[in-house]
Structures are given as C-alpha cells and as structure tokens.
Amino acid sequence: MEFQWCNKAFTRITGYEEHEALGQRGTILIGADLEQGIHLYIIEKLMNWENFSTKALNNRKNGETYWQRMSWTHLSDPETGNHWWLCSIIELEEERAEPTKPEVLDASVPDQESYERAVEKVHRLEKENVRLHRLARSVAKDANEDALTGLSNRRHFEVELKTWIENLKEHGAEFAVLYIDLDRFKFVNDTLGHDAGDRLLVSVAKMLKELTEKSDLVARLGGDEYVVLKPLGKSALNVSSLADEIVQRMQAPFSFDGKSTACSASVGVAIAKASMANPEQVVADADAALYHAKDQGKGRWSFFTEEMHAKSISTKQLASDLLLACERREFIPYFQPLIDARTGRIAYAEMLVRWCHPTKGILAPAAFLDTAAQIGILKRIDEIIFASVHGALTHLDEAGVDLPRVAVNVSAARLADPTFIHDIKSSGIAPERLTVEILESVYLDRMGDVVRWTIDELDELGVGIALDDFGTGHASVSGLLEIRPSILKIDRHFIQPIVENPSSRRLAASIIGIGKSLDMQVVAEGVETEEHAQLACEMGCDYLQGFYFGKPMSEDNLRDTLIENRGDFWSGGAQSTAVRSVGKAG
Ligand code: C2E
Ligand code: CA
Ligand code: CA
C-alpha cells in the first residue's frame, strides 16, 4: 500500500511532509518495537478489507516512537474497481510515558509454534490478497474487456462505435470497419479441443493487436468474430493492406500440441463516410461484405458495395417471408420418379420441396433453402413436408397406386440435430417406405457422435440411406466409407456428358465402379435422353432419374402419371429384348 493522500495533522504527528509521504509505502510508519501480534492483526484486517481500529506503536520521521489509535475504513470505487484504506490516527499523549499492550490480541511473546502458525497465516493472507487484487482488477476490466483475449468486448465496442459515429458527424472523422470471422473455428474446436480453440482465439487477438495502431479499436464480439475500427487516413490503402495482411497471416497453419491445422479468416470491409445519411449502418455493411467474402470461397476479404446492400436487404425480406411461409405452411412436396434400370418400372420417388409462394408461384429450393438454413427453419420445413409426404403416400395407397418408397433430402446440419430421428418417427411415414438422401456429406466427418447415432438409428428403424451428389465435392469418399449407404447417387454433371464425350464416360464408369465395388446400388441422376438411359444402364447403374422419365411433379400429377402408365416408364431396360433405338420411353 502506498500513501495517496495526507493532511496537515498527519505531518504534525509523523514529521513527514506531504511530498515526502506520498508514493511511499505505509511501512515507513511502523515502529521497530511494534508487537508481532498486533502487526499480524493489522495485516489480516487489511487483507480481508475489514474495517478496524487498534492502538499501535509507530515511528516518527526522526526515529522517535509514539502511541496512536488508528481507525481504518475501506473505500472502493465500483466504476474503476480501485480500493483504498482511509486511516485516521490520533496520537495518544498519555500512553507516551507508559506504553500499554494492545488490547486486540494477546501480545505475550509468541512461542515457536504460534509464530509458525502466524507466518503461515500471513502467507495465506498474502496469497488471498493477490487473488482479491486480481479479482478487483478483473471486475473493473470485465466491464469493457473480453476475458479471454483482453480485447474490447462487444459492450465496449458498441459504446466506442457510438463515439466514433458522433465524431464522424461532428468533425467528419471518417473510419473503416473491418469485420473478421474465422473460417474453420468450429472445426479446430471440435477436432483439437477447446483449449486449442481458445489458444487460436488468443493468437488471432495478438495478431490483430500487432497489425493495428494505438488509434484503432480492436474488439472481439464473441465466438470467432472480431472487429477493427480504423480512422481513415489520407488514402484507403492502409485499410486494404491491413485486410490483406490479416488474410495472409491467417493462411499460415495453426499448431497446437504438436498438431497443426489450417484456419483461414474472411474479412468484410466498409467505410463510414461523412456523406452517409445513416453511418450507423456501417457495421451491417461490413457484415454484408464479410458474407460476400465467405460466399466467394472464404480466406479472402471483400469491400462493401451497393449491390451487397441491395442483396442484404432482399435476403432480410426473404428471411421474413420464409418465417411467414412456415406459419402458413406454404411448403409442398414435389415428386420425381426413379426408374429401376432392369425393369423400367418405378422404383421409388424422390421428394423435392417447393415453396408455393402467394405471389411468385412455385419456387425451387435454390430460391430459398440457403436462407432457410441460415435462419434455422429447415426443421420446421421438414415437419411441414414430412406430414405432406405421409398424406401423399396414404392417398396413393387409397387410390390403388403402387409407390413403394419415397426418398427425402436431408442436410448435414439436420443429421447432426438430435431431434431429427424424432421428427422422422413422428412423421407417420412407415420407415421401410422411406429413404434418406444425405446432402453435403463432406461436412459430416467433423460432426461427430450425433450424426453417427442418427445414422445408426435410421438403419435400425429400417430407413434406407442414400448418399447424394456423389462426385461433386459435396460428397466425399471418406463420407462414403463412414456412412456406408445402400444407395449412391451419381451427380447429373457426370451423367449428362457421357453421350457426347468418351472421357466423361470413362470418368462416370469409374465413379459407378466405386459404388459397385462397395456393393451399393447406383443411381444415375440427370438422365435427359434415351441415350443417357441406355448408356447408364449398360454401365451398371441400378436406377435412373431425370427429366427423360419425368420432372419433379405435384402429388396429383404423380398419381395421374402412375395411373396412366401403371408404373411402367421405360421399355429399354436391361431385361428388354427390344432392339435398342432412340425413341420416347413408353
Ligand atoms: P438434388 O437432391 O440433387 O435433387 C435433384 C435436382 O436435380 C432437383 O432439383 C431436380 O429437379 C433436378 N433434376 C432432376 N432431374 C434432372 C435432369 O434430368 N436434368 C436437370 N438439369 N436437372 C434435373 P431441385 O428440385 O431444384 O432441387 C435442388 C436441390 O435442392 C436438391 O438437389 C436438393 O439438394 C435440395 N433439396 C430439394 N428438396 C429438399 C428438401 O426437402 N430438403 C433439403 N434439405 N434439400 C432439398
Ligand atoms: Ca437428392
Ligand atoms: Ca442429387
């Protein structure tokens, strides 16, 4: 403890002038003859921040000792977390002649044992004091500081942002916002553990501190999101080179405990200009630019443009329309037939969702699924269409139309959702009439136990499992080995060129070979002509799907088609003895 303040009476009693005392440690006043016991008592009270009062023998500046009564009062400032002791002293004239023992403790000469106990106690108290001190400091900083990285936290960032915007409005002080997001943080966390994740976050914070200047504000907004506010100098060059540098540095591998992994970052940049009507928008602009950088392939930065602004507005509109669409249950199932290549008959139908939009008509998934996934409503859409699929199967059965199975598409994220199995069970669809087509299976390997469990549960229930889009990069060989689906779907981009292009044909053949060698049934997607159908069939595909046999259609359309053709779509199958000729399927 140091002296922070003293008054004239203090100088009169102790002999120390104010300038001599301030900044000195309180121990300059402790008398050489102060009893051990009373000394410990004082330390204990001080360390525990307990107010107290005692008599003690003190030193004056000239070495003289004197008795005083001291009253200690603990003061603190909740705003800053600073603590003080206010000590008022009264000199006890009458004690001068005949010093009395302090009344607070038994001051008899301590024996060895109690001395050791006392030393131990001081030791403990000192430790406690260090802890309290840290606590006090952290309480003060907590308000503004991110505990993990020491950067500003979201709260402090928001306060600062207001100030920067006021400065912009009043003094034209323009600034840049850099919104930074790690591309594979979840992966690092999941594979290397949370300690590694924390370490990564701290190292990013350090890197940002290194690359920025004192006048910049660096904050961690939570998770793996950071933001930098940077005053705009004469050129915007220093902003772009900062964004560049951040992206570059994050390309370097991150290592932890001898393991190393890549975790790039994406950055969105926007400028708050004096001419802007609504500069508060600048952080949302940077966020939109960040989104764009991610969309363009991550590990890069991008600058906010007006088009992004338009896009972010329309995405918001779409998101709110989608929420309404869930309320109104505007999602309906369409069905596309899959043909057994041997018999030419319908094997099953793939359900493809459509949004029956009140003004825009029937919308394909590309128009809304990404946004739906982002706002987390795939589960609700699934509930709506699963119920309709159940209804459709019942209606078809009642009409005496044979549709053995239906396949539904399931995103990787939904497989990692522990409620998915419940949703399947409560859909009412008989499990043996259901196949699940797994999308983006490349993401599955990092999703861990829930996915594994979900897949095992599906298997147990008797639900078929298909791997979708094989060959696109959305589906991986490792996913294939992990999931062991009974059906492998070859993406239409491999099937479509097989008629014209022999090397595409060889590629398709080798992809089909992978599935066959693992005893899987193979589906050729994108069969648009008789030649496609013939070739795919000759190459060993078990099922054929594509516009040649039928586009995705409504339940009513499917029923009418199946009644009309009695489930027979193709006469050119492997069992067909007919001369193969190009012609319309019967
Ligand atoms: P996918 O699972 O690969 O579905 C096949 C897509 O290819 C469908 O597009 C289908 O209309 C189209 N297609 C079928 N045959 C042909 C053909 O011969 N030529 C061409 N050019 N295209 C053909 P759609 O209906 O637009 O669905 C697109 C994607 O949306 C689907 O791709 C699937 O990934 C996703 N999707 C559809 N329904 C759902 C759903 O309910 N949930 C989820 N999570 N995703 C869905
Ligand atoms: Ca599919
Ligand atoms: Ca597909």
Q: For the segment 262-315, what is each residue's pLDDT rounded down to a tens digit? A: 899 999 999 999 888 889 999 999 999 999 999 888 999 999 988 888 887 888
Judge whether residue 551 has pLDDT over 90.
yes
Cα distances from 219 to residues 207, 229, 276, 298, in angstroms, run 12, 9, 24, 21
Judge whether residue 582 has pLDDT over 60.
no
- Which ligand 1 atom sits nearest the alpha carbon of residue 382? 41
Q: For the segment 182-191, what is each residue's pLDDT rounded down to a tens digit? A: 998 988 888 8
**Proximal ligand: closest to the CA of 495:** 1
Expressed as residue numbers, the domain containing 254 is 154-310
526 lines ligand 1 (CB under 6 A): yes
Distance (angstroms) between ligand 2 centre and the Cα of 520 equals 16
Judge whether residue 424 has pLDDT over 70.
yes
Strands ordered across the beta sheet of 225-231:
217-222, 225-231, 175-182, 265-272, 301-303
Judge whether residue 99 has pLDDT over 60.
no
Give me the pLDDT at residue 46, please.
Answer: 80
Q: For the segment 127-152, what is each residue's pLDDT rounded down to a tens digit? A: 766 666 566 555 555 678 888 999 99
**Proximal ligand: closest to the CA of 338:** 1
Q: Give the domain CATH number at 568.
A: 3.20.20.450
Residue of the nearest CA to atom 11 in ligand 1?
A: 552
Q: For the segment 225-241, what is each residue's pLDDT rounded down to a tens digit? A: 999 999 987 666 789 89
Whether residue 516 is found in the same domain as residue 390: yes
468 lines ligand 1 (CB under 6 A): yes
Instruction: With respect to residue 111, please indicate whether it lies within any of the assigned structural domains.
Output: no
Total domains in the fold of the chain = 3
Determine which of 38-52, 89-103, 416-430, 560-574 has the lowest per-residue pLDDT on average: 89-103
* DSSP output for 81-111: --EEEEEEEEE-GGGTTSPPPPSSS--SPPP
Residue of the nearest CA to atom 45 in ligand 1?
A: 409
Whether residue 283 is found in the same domain as residue 347: no
Whether residue 280 is found in the same domain as residue 352: no
Q: For the segment 565-576, what is each residue's pLDDT rounded down to a tens digit? A: 999 999 987 665
Q: Which two tokens stand for residue 4?
A: 């922070």
Answer with the one of 70, 91, 112 that is the final residue of a domain.
91
**Proximal ligand: closest to the CA of 331:** 1
Determine which of 44-53, 261-270, 279-288, 443-452 has the lowest per-residue pLDDT on average: 443-452
Whether residue 278 is found in the same domain as residue 402: no
Instruction: With respect to residue 132, please indicate whether it lies within any of the assigned structural domains.
Output: no
Q: Which two tokens stand for residue 116?
A: 């050791």
Give me the pLDDT at residue 141, please.
Answer: 59
439 lines ligand 1 (CB under 6 A): yes
Which of 352, 467, 541 to mutate for ligand 1's pocket (most ligand atoms within 8 Å of CB)? 352
Q: Give the domain CATH number at 259.
A: 3.30.70.270
Q: If pLDDT is split at 50, 70 and 90, which confidence band does 100 have?
A: very low
Give me the pLDDT at residue 125, please.
Answer: 67
- Proportion of the chain above pLDDT 70, given as a percent: 87
Distance (angstroms) between ligand 3 centre and the Cα of 489 equals 6
531 lines ligand 1 (CB under 6 A): no
Give me the pLDDT at residue 126, please.
Answer: 67
- Long-range contacts: 223-226, Cβ < 8 Å, 24+? 223/185, 224/181, 224/182, 224/185, 225/179, 225/180, 225/181, 226/151, 226/179, 226/180, 226/181
- Which ligand 1 atom sits nearest the alpha carbon of residue 364? 26
- Proportion of the chain above pLDDT 90, given as a percent: 55
Whether residue 490 is found in the same domain as residue 374: yes
285 lines ligand 1 (CB under 6 A): no
Give me the pLDDT at residue 445, please.
Answer: 64
Judge whether residue 464 has pLDDT over 80.
yes
Whether residue 494 is found in the same domain as residue 391: yes
492 lines ligand 1 (CB under 6 A): yes
Distance (angstroms) between ligand 1 centre and the Cα of 71 equals 81
